[in-house]
Structure 1
């Protein structure tokens, strides 16, 4: 465990582990129940965590993983069941109560204040003060933070503003903040979702360091390869229920998947990698934007899935946003079905039948506090307007219901707020929105980011079905197996340029990486 070194302490800041030994049971959750309006989220759930272990919690979106851990962290209160902490039954009424017990949670959405420094974020509300109580002791805050960061071998300046840090370093600040509470239980919800491979390695180094010092770590992730790499045990949840707990070394990924989904996973197999139609629906010529997009040209055919591959910062998302009119361009031409068009805004793009599903669906694709029905019809309201501009609710509801059935969106009803849906179902709502708008050209930016293996399977099936029906798709993905599995053609970008074009039959991960690292002057 990481404990802040008290004044005059010569023990290195590590207290006696006391009543329990490494590997002793820290947490037992039994019979946990939780319901939200219209949703029975947890049903007789259980979970156990030992000291000095990394315990992975896996399942599809909506399986109840985050909900169960938010109960342990005091974010939600349980409806039934009991929690034992160090052998004693406890009631965890709020996050502060959890922190006082030694339980901290790092959420997917960070809880940091960007305008404050690293040290100020870590000790906010607990700042050391000088003689006059209203004067903060900035020197003491920075020294305590430096001690904590040094123990984690983190190269961070306590005085650096959080807004100037990368996502990976912000996550390290969250870890340091959690451990500043002398946490013995650390819950990490999708900690690697926005990290590069090198940053994931650094995170795993810290996780192993904490595990070796006795901290019990709950690791929630959809990335099963990483789960196998970092965890000691794995608990699987499905549809709000506990399924099983297995020793990681004894479980194969296929076995984990079968427990997670409880059904056959759809495998994309395209017997004929050629696109049926040769009709070009979108042509981009010599697209330029500063140093980000450098002379990009390509075509998209009817019924084609065109994959865009490349490393982070290659310019893939920037090209998509430029085509959609979200960002201005310096030069270039765009043709839709052979006709040159001017796209100065997303409204222009939608008018020409282009829909864009952003990698950040919560920020750019959905209105989270609105219901499923409203989100589905939002981009097409003129289709449902009647006399004096009033929306024909019955017609809008019927269209939304049709999309829910067509896309198999799991929701208790059309009035459910989108923020309560799982990630996979939120993605389907965005797709439903653009299908309702009757867009024939769809740009999918990281379509399965933050989505579990079962929901990925459904998105893959949906993309294939859309292509088969004549929709044309640009798919940007950082997962090479996904690109290889789904694309008819693959364009590879590096430093704002297209450095390679591959047909599905010839593409390999090695060839894609060759073009993705082909730096040009």
Structure 2
């Protein structure tokens, strides 16, 4: 149904796609894999008419086509669901689905009843119940994701591109999405599926095409390759074990943080935990179990019924995250683009944020040489791959953007680092680098809290794990007890004590 031959794309003098091929059949889910920066999203933007190829051929149903605009691709039956949502937050689901192609009656007026009925039919096909009369901003992330898919289907798309559609979905929501994808496949729709979760590839996909550094590496039927083989195709080397070895626990390591009482809401569970220098404490649990809220409450950024904590043995109350910075606690938020970075700014500007006092010269002026040297040192520490400190952050891959956030907190001389979903949207090669960095930090005496929805990550990286359920910690496990069975049992059936 879709064939790409020798697609090349250059931005100025830099060629980012070097003669890429892709063949997608009707009625199949075709995975497009590669590290961040491999060219996957650029290739799909070419398919959908958002950018133009420098050379190469696009064929749909065997006929050579060109798509000067996004609308031209839509008319050819190509729909795309971007990794970053393209919905307008203050419009409703119906208004978003029919934006710029509204159904009108004989008088040229909007036929809201017809649009609503069409939207209802599409959502019924997806087997999702989404409120149609409230702004998109009030829907959950999963509901917004299904609105994006419904919008693509409303275009009568026969070729559907899904770019990281499960990145923000729970396992239950992901399972429902896969059910919908199987039904679309049975109806003859060709689906291009981009994901960094290799277990999802083996669960839902029929064939796989791999890109590396803008080049076509090869394609395989799913049954012809295993995880190790895919990783080697993607990164050009074998990664025997993504997780560095865990050091032996040191019970004499100084206690840097103790939360003695934390209650998110009155009548809810009361949590307590501690963190020693040189260890990684994992926070595990289902989405909505209170992991991120607990950290934000500890930092004073989220209202809590009560919160008592000690830093280096001293009773402390943090008013906000800025107060936490002064006390040596840095947060790498779940959404790095929205909360952790100013992406149009340079690496240097992002690393210097909140810390210009460090470069103060004669009270009023900035020592730019010192700022540049500190930024370069921080970039080297976390191995940021970029032309230099003045490169814009929005030109970097997801893994390198995450490293820029880490570099900022190292530049702040933090002692406690809180990683919230540290590898979300990051490829397997960059994940291994982030994991090694985390272990390097703890070897230097840093303490880390890691919030993660990925069980292999929790098990492979944590020295101890706090398991959350219904807003509180129900168990803390360590050593050989850190298993998927134990964590999931506690997360789904653990018991907590409620207090008045």
- TM-score, normalised with respect to structure 2: 0.94
Q: Is the 8 A contact 1:281 1:302 kept in 2?
A: yes
The gaps in structure 2 that reach 5 residues or longer are none
1:408 alignment partner in structure 2: 383
2:344 alignment partner in structure 1: 369
- Is 1:303 aligned to 2:253, yes or no? no
- Is 1:116 aligned to 2:98, yes or no? no
Mapped partners of 1:83, 1:358: distance in 2: 40
2:197 alignment partner in structure 1: 223
Question: Quick check: 421-430 or 265-274, which moved more?
Answer: 265-274
- Is 1:392 aligned to 2:386, yes or no? no
1:129 alignment partner in structure 2: 104
Q: CA deviation at 1:33?
A: 2.1
Mapped partners of 2:266, 2:171: distance in 1: 25
- Is 1:261 aligned to 2:239, yes or no? no
Q: Is the 8 A contact 2:298 2:307 kept in 1?
A: no
Mapped partners of 1:462, 1:292: distance in 2: 39
In structure 1, which of residues 337, 344, 364 is the aligned counterpart of residue 319 of structure 2? 344
1:167 alignment partner in structure 2: 141
In structure 2, which of residues 11, 28, 35 is the aligned counterpart of residue 60 of structure 1? 35
Q: CA deviation at 1:304?
A: 0.9
The gaps in structure 1 that reach 5 residues or longer are 1-25
Q: Is the 8 A contact 1:33 1:43 kept in 2?
A: yes
Q: Is the 8 A contact 2:297 2:307 kept in 1?
A: no
Q: CA deviation at 1:264?
A: 3.7
1:146-179 CA-to-partner distances (Å, cap 9, x unmatched) read 3333344444455455344332222222222112
Q: CA deviation at 1:188?
A: 0.3
Mapped partners of 2:12, 2:320: distance in 1: 38
Q: 1:119-518 residue pairs with structure 2 within 5 A?
A: 119-133=94-108, 135-156=109-130, 158-159=132-133, 161-265=135-239, 266-270=241-245, 272-275=247-250, 277-290=252-265, 294-517=269-492, 518=494
Distance 1:271 1:476, change over 3 A: closer
Mapped partners of 2:281, 2:13: distance in 1: 39
Count of residue pairs brought into register by the alignment: 495
Q: CA deviation at 1:37?
A: 6.2
What RMSD over aligned residues (CA atoms) do the two structures have, in Å? 1.9
Mapped partners of 2:252, 2:344: distance in 1: 41
Give 3-state SS (helix, strand or coil) of 2:258's partner.
Answer: strand
Distance 1:514 1:71, change over 3 A: same
Q: Is the 8 A contact 2:246 2:461 kept in 1?
A: no
Q: Is the 8 A contact 1:490 1:504 kept in 2?
A: no
Mapped partners of 2:55, 2:469: distance in 1: 53
Q: CA deviation at 1:38?
A: 7.9
- TM-score, normalised with respect to structure 1: 0.91
Q: Is the 8 A contact 2:244 2:435 kept in 1?
A: no
Q: CA deviation at 1:496?
A: 1.6
Q: Is the 8 A contact 1:441 1:473 kept in 2?
A: yes
Q: Is the 8 A contact 2:103 2:115 kept in 1?
A: yes
1:405-433 CA-to-partner distances (Å, cap 9, x unmatched) read 22111112222111121111111000000
Mapped partners of 2:274, 2:125: distance in 1: 53
Q: CA deviation at 1:336?
A: 1.2
Mapped partners of 1:304, 1:36: distance in 2: 44
Distance 1:147 1:486, change over 3 A: closer
Distance 1:309 1:273, change over 3 A: farther
